[in-house]
Structure 1
Amino acid sequence: MEPSNLLPDREKASDMPNVGKPATRALTAAGYVQLEQFTKLTEAEVLKLHGVGPKAIRIIREALAANGQSFAE
C-alpha cells in the first residue's frame, strides 16, 4: 500500500462528513472528495447534483462551520 502523500489528489483519503450513500456517490462522481472544495461552491450548485438533498447540505454546512469555513455566497 502506498503512503497517502504519494497518491494523486483524487485518491487521497476524504475528509467528507457522512452524508449518506446517494449523496456520497453523487459528490464523488462529480469530483468532490475534500470538504475544502465546497468553499468554492454555493449550496444551490451542490443541490443541483442528483442524490444531494437538504440533509446533505446541512451536514456539509455544519462540517464546514466546524472548520471555520462556509459555502461560497
Structure 2
Amino acid sequence: MTAQKSLRVCEKGHKYFKSSECPNCPTCDKENKPKSDFFSKLSSPARNALLHEGVDTLKELSMFTEKEILKIYGIGPASLPIMRHLLEEEGLAFKN
C-alpha cells in the first residue's frame, strides 16, 4: 500500500505533490542546489539536514562521528561514502 500524496504549495508558489511530512519543495531544492562546494555532491535531503544542524563546511562535518551523522533525520547510509570521500580530499575525516 502506498501513501497518499497531497498537493502542496511552497512560499514561492510552486505546486508539488508529497506523501511524506517533509516540507521541502522539490522545485526550490533544485533552484537552491549549490554548484561548487561539497554540498553539490549530496542529495537534497542530506544537504538540508546538514544545514539544519548548522553544518556548512567540511571542517564542521569532521567534528561529527559517522554514528552521529546517521542519527540526523534526512541523512542515510548512502550519503556516508560521499561524505567520507569529500573529507579525505581535504585531509579530514569523521571524528572517532
TM-score range, shorter chain: 0.7 to 0.9
TM-score under structure 1 length normalisation: 0.74
Structure 1 unaligned runs (5+)?
A: 1-13
Are the equivalent residues in 2 in contact too, given 1:61–1:71 (CA < 8 A)? Answer: yes
Deviations, residues 1-35 of structure 1 (Å, cap 9, x unaligned): xxxxxxxxxxxxx8324210011111111111111
* Correspondence for 1:37: 60
Q: Which has the higher strand share?
A: 2
Q: Structure with the greater relative contact order (CA < 8 A, sep ≥ 6): 1 or 2? A: 1
- The one-letter code of the counterpart of 2:65 is T
* Correspondence for 1:72: 95
How many residues align? The count is 60
Given the alignment, which residue of 53, 71, 78 partners 1:48? 71
TM-score under structure 2 length normalisation: 0.57
Among the aligned pairs, what percent are the same residue? 35
| Cα distance in 1 between the residues matched to 2:67 and 2:37 | 21
Q: Which has the higher helix share?
A: 1
Runs of 4+ in 1 over 4 A off after TM superposition: none
Q: CA deviation at 1:40?
A: 1.2
